[in-house]
Chains A and B, each alone.
Chain A
């Protein structure tokens, strides 16, 4: 069902990670994502994994929910790891015709799997613990420098906020329209690809109509409150960096240096 989408959902809470400044969370995530791909031996890889498990535990969001977010990408992980398994170089340890598995291939498969899993977990941690509005506020704040070259940072951020806000609404709407057309005998589960695509017309048209209607409503409501773009706008909630953020930066810096040290001390397997 369309409602089962967990990717990108916000779970309110009051954990250490929830209370971090969203800007630091984004910056830390970027740093973390880079370092995931700079792990070259098992020691640094396990360091990153341990760190990932650590912040999942302190994020205050149930690990079950993280597992659910992994379910979505399990196919991608399987395909990439299986492909990597057969693309290794070096001495084959198992061979059948042209298919061969090497130690290097196994290493690659393991690395790619753990890297993708960590990547998804880390990004999920950001979206699970940060409300969409905070997220766009942070992006707006981080992108402020390029407003100088006349890039409409505020408008883009506002568009993102609005778009995110309407995701659940439109999902609900889709569900309702599907039910209504099914009640009139619409058949969306059988037939060939052409009939199936055609079967979606009775859902897409009402959905578009209602999306436009809602867009007009929102635009009117914003105008009624004298919204006229970003110029001269102040915020109710001003973002603040605190000692907490400094601590988070320190921890991530420690991990990054740990990974670098591990990479230098021990031979690379990748």
Chain B
């Protein structure tokens, strides 16, 4: 595998040289492989949003570098738009960015800016709508007539339509009902599986992160706290709690069981896995057959 994104001593200071100077990201160094699914967690104000906004050149780092496929994204500042097409960014509550007359036109805004037209454009729009789970008949409606969940999908499709090599999603499921969350999350997973693109997901829901991520970036006080496999990160329950985060409920239950002296894996991430371990344990002790 090859590195798609590499951060070197990446830093960002808000309000440089003013009395309001504040470090938002402090010397983050890490690299992400092609095709990985990365989760980003951290409490509010830990610098995760600033971090991801530097990855596609929306804000220019005050120190350090972002390398995309080995080249510094700020090497040619005039061509930073090209980087934004390669690293797609879906903001929090993306439905508030919808503006065009129809959903179709709104989704085509990104690819059009890339210079696509004709069949190529049509293909990109329809493919993106399909990935985001938007039905064909919605494409000719005004985006303002859609339901909340559909608006969110339309906005996400607008970014997917640019076919970015790296897709960053900032809390895509915030404010959706459980069904909507579930649907959106599985669509993102399916997108990742089929396109084999790199996906970065920022979320406050440890359950969501545990389900989808290969590795997790933990941010704390503008610094990189951990960057490990999902299992490893969530086996550090106590450290996570200290910095205002928690582990998925099921992982917590398993680690309590382990503390009580039972032989279980305290890095278990899903209920099915935990269930198997607990039944095996009960069988061993002769409680069930």
Q: What chain B residues lie within 8 Å of A177 (beta carbons)? A: 96-97
Q: For A184, A186, A187, A210, which residue has the most chain B Cβ atoms within 10 angstroms? A: A184
Smallest CB-CB separation from A187: which chain B residue?
B81
Question: Is the Cβ of A184 less than 8 Å from the Cβ of B162?
Answer: yes
CB distance from A224 to the nearest CB of B (A): 21
Q: Are A201 and B99 within 8 A (Cβ)? A: yes
Does B89 contact A202, Cβ atoms closer than 8 Å?
no
B109 in contact with A183 (CB, 8 Å): no
Contact B110 A180 (CB under 8 A): no
Question: Judging by beta carbons under 8 Å apart, are A184 and B98 in contact?
Answer: no
How would you classify the secondary structure of chain A's contact residues: helix, strand, loop or mixed?
helix
Complex interface: chain B residues within 8 A of A201 (CB): 99
Tell yes or no: A185 within 8 A of B by CB.
Answer: yes
Cβ B99 vs Cβ A184 within 8 A: no
Flag whether B37 is at the interface (Cβ < 8 A): no
> In the complex, what residue of chain A is closest to B101 when comparing beta carbons?
A205
B44 to chain A, nearest CB (A): 16
- Chain B interface helix/strand/loop/mixed: helix
Q: What's the nearest-Cβ distance from chain B to residue A118, in Å? A: 25
| Nearest-CB residue, chain B, relative to A186 | B113
Determine whether the beta carbon of A185 is less than 8 Å from that of B91: no
Known: A187-B81, A202-B109. A182 touches B58 (CB 8 A): yes
Q: Chain A contacts of B98 at CB under 8 A? A: 206
Q: Let me know if A209 is at the binding interface, CB within 8 A.
A: yes
CB distance from A30 to the nearest CB of B (A): 32
Find chain A residues with CB under 8 A from B205 CB: none
Residues of chain B with a CB closer than 8 A to A179's CB: 53, 58, 91
Those of A39-93 within 8 Å (CB) of chain B = 62, 64
Contact with A along B236-258 (1 / 0, CB 8 A): 00000000000000000000000
Q: Chain A residues near B113 (CB, 8 Å)?
A: 184-187
> What is the distance, in angstroms, from B146's C-beta to the closest C-beta of chain A?
13
A183 touching B96, Cβ below 8 Å: no
**Residues 198 to 244 of chain A near chain B (Cβ within 8 Å):** 201-203, 205-206, 209-210
Q: Do the beta carbons of B91 and A176 come within 8 Å of each other? A: yes
How far, in Å, is B50 (CB) from chain A's closest CB? 12
Contact status A184-B144, CB under 8 Å: no
Check if A184 sits within 8 Å of B58, measured CB to CB: no
- Give the residue name and chain of the B residue nearest to A209 (CB): B144
Give bound CA distance, A144 to B227, whole Å.
63
CB of A110, distance to nearest CB on chain B (Å): 32
Bound-complex Cα distance A184 to B97 (A): 10
Interface size class of A (residues with CB under 8 A): 20 to 34
Chain B residue numbers with a CB within 8 Å of A203 are 99
Tell me the smallest distance from the CB of B190 to a CB of chain A, in Å: 22
- Is residue B159 within 8 Å, beta carbon to beta carbon, of the partner chain? yes
B144 touches A183 (CB 8 A): no
Verify if B94 is at the interface (C-beta below 8 Å from A): yes
Q: How far is the CB of A21 from chain B (nearest CB, A)?
A: 29
The answer to whether A183 and B91 touch across the interface, beta carbons within 8 angstroms, is: yes
Check if A180 sits within 8 Å of B91, measured CB to CB: yes
Question: A residues within 8 A CB of B53?
Answer: 179
Interface membership of A133, Cβ < 8 A: no
B154 to chain A, nearest CB (A): 12
Residue of B nearest to A184 (CB): B110
* Chain B residues within 8 Å of A102, by CB: none
What is the bound-complex CA distance between A176 and B91, given in angstroms? 9
Contacts of A64 in B (CB 8 A): 19
Identify which of B99, B114, B162 gathers the most chain A CB atoms within 10 Å of its CB.
B99
Q: Mark B176-188, 1 if CB is under 8 A from A, else 0.
A: 0000000000000
List the A side residues contacting B162 at CB < 8 Å.
184-185
Q: Do the beta carbons of A210 and B96 come within 8 Å of each other?
A: yes
A181: CB under 8 A from chain B? yes
Which chain A residue has the least Cβ–Cβ distance from B59?
A179
Cα distance A203–B94 in the bound complex, in angstroms: 13
Given A183-B89, A184-B162, A206:B97 Cβ within 8 A: yes
User: Cβ of B47 < 8 Å from any Cβ of A?
Assistant: no
Shortest distance from the beta carbon of B102 to any chain A beta carbon, whole Å:
13
Contact between chains at B99 and A182 (CB < 8 Å): no
In the complex, A62 Cα to B84 Cα: how many Å? 40
- Tell me if B85 counts as interface (CB < 8 A to partner A): yes
Within 8 A of A (CB), among B148-168: 158-159, 162
**Min C-beta distance of A270 to chain B, whole Å:** 39
* CA A180 to CA B49, docked complex, whole Å: 13
Tell me the nearest residue of chain A to B78, going by C-beta: A190
User: How far apart are B99's CB and chain A's nearest CB, in angstroms?
Assistant: 4
CB A50 to nearest CB in B, in angstroms, measures 27
Q: Give the 6 A-B CB pairs with smallest separation, nearest first.
A: A185-B113, A205-B99, A180-B97, A184-B110, A183-B89, A202-B99
